[in-house]
Amino acid sequence: METTINLQVLRYIPEKDPDPFYQEYEVPLREEWVILDALNYIKDQIDGTLSYRWSCRMGVCGSCGMMVNEKPILTCETFLEKYMPGPIRIAPLNYFGVIRDLVVETDGFMEKVKRVKPWIIRDKEKAPLEGEYLQTPEELSEYKQYSMCINCMLCYSACPVVGLEPQFIGPAAIALAQRYNYDNRDEGQNQRNDVLLTDDGIFECTLVGECSEVCPKKVDPAGAIQRYKVQGATEWWTSVLLPFGKK
Amino acid sequence: MQKKRSNDPFWWTLFGAGGTISAFFIPVHVLLFGIAMPLGWISVPDYETLLQLAQHPVTRLYIFALVSLSLFHWAHRFRYTLYDGLMLKHLEHYIFIFCYGSALAGTVITGVLIWTI
Ligand code: SF4
Ligand code: FES
């Protein structure tokens, strides 16, 4: 007989039951299976009502993040065997509203991401005929790491400050702001500072560091925030000591 | 609508400076006065020499910065420990005044003591 492993999945079906509850499933324990395969097995073979998000199955789209045994992970990247002998507890990502079962509300996150103006800002655009904006490999490496983010939101679920201060703009959005601040083609840092040097911005961070621990893409948002704090402090002292040079 | 920029960078600068200076120099003091001298690795300077050293303007400035910045480092850490660790964010204003106020009081006392050595 095939060995199985026990999955305890947090269900939330608002039209039936106002309270979430754990439901248990026995799934085959196959060597090559990740958690997402087990969820797909449940959906196809045991219980078609289970809802969750996924798409690429290869750690690229960022949609399959869940809390597995209390830790935020990408379920398409994490093997069942790691949790031998089980049980495995699966719940929606921490600190997000739940729409149904494992599907969370992402609007707040998307709004935060947009707020940092994650695009190249120029005071004056070059005319197309003047050619492209060239960049050396060194200039690219300044920000490349921060451009690897897949918006999986694991870092928000890992961050206790996000839990306590829901308005905190959060790790991924700050790392994304740095992705543009460190891009030599960009001139928008001052506009981003208006968002990130306020009370909801970078100084909410108390350097817990969990965001960088859980990030599947090694973006190191905690490092991005620390670097931003130094920039923010420099900015503050300049505006106090040279009040006439600045607006 | 543009939100007001925060003044936290000021407190954070003191916090960062305090963390750096105490991490670098307190171990030196512990090593000298806490380990090396009691174990007799180096000879113990007499009171007069130490007093003279402490009265030197550079030493005064150094002790003042070391103590004051370390206090502000503590204040910032403790402020957030109370906010997040003990969930006292609703007492924000009192905590703010208590933490940085204590550091400020400590700074004044340090200043007076060092001045009058
Ligand atoms: S920074 Fe890392 S953990 Fe956070 S959303 Fe981006 S990829 Fe995910
Ligand atoms: S399914 Fe795309 S990252 Fe997991």
Torsion of the alpha carbons at A206, A208, A209 and A210, rounded to the nearest 10:
-130
Interface ipTM: 0.79
Helix axes B92-115, B57-80, angle to 10 degrees: 170
Q: Do A233 and B89 touch (CB under 8 A)?
A: no
Q: Do A197 and B84 touch (CB under 8 A)?
A: no
pLDDT digits (tens, 9 = 90+) for A171-216: 999 999 999 999 999 999 999 999 999 988 999 999 999 999 999 9
Name the residue facing B9 among A165, A200, A236 (closest C-beta): A236
Contacts of B13 in chain A (CB under 8 A): 233, 236-237
* pLDDT at residue A2 greater than cutoff 90: no
How far is A51 from A15, CA to CA, in rounded Å?
14
Q: pTM of the predicted model, to two decimals?
A: 0.88
**Which ligand is nearest to the Cα of residue A36, counting in written order?**
2
Which distant-in-sequence residues (6+ apart) come within 8 Å of A31 by Cβ? A81
Which residue's structure tokens are 């954070």? B12
pLDDT digits (tens, 9 = 90+) for B7-31: 889 999 999 999 999 999 999 999 9
Q: Do B84 and A161 touch (CB under 8 A)?
A: yes
The model's confidence at residue A239, banded by pLDDT at 50, 70 and 90, is: confident
Residue range B82-104: average pLDDT?
90
Q: Where are the beta strands (DSSP E) in B1-117?
A: none
The model's confidence at residue A74, banded by pLDDT at 50, 70 and 90, is: very high
How far is A3 from B6, CA to CA, in rounded Å?
57
Task: Please tell me what DSSP assigns to residue B35.
Answer: I
Domain boundaries, chain B: 11-115
Angle at Cα A245 formed by Cα A244 and Cα A246, nearest 5°?
A: 90
Domain boundaries, chain A: 4-104, 107-241
- Check if CATH label 3.10.20.30 holds for domain A4-104: yes
Which residue's structure tokens are 């997040």? B84
The domain made up of B11-115 has a fold known as 3 helical TM bundles of succinate and fumarate reductases (1.20.1300)
Which residue's structure tokens are 């969820």? A39
The CATH architecture of the domain made up of A107-241 is: Orthogonal Bundle (1.10)
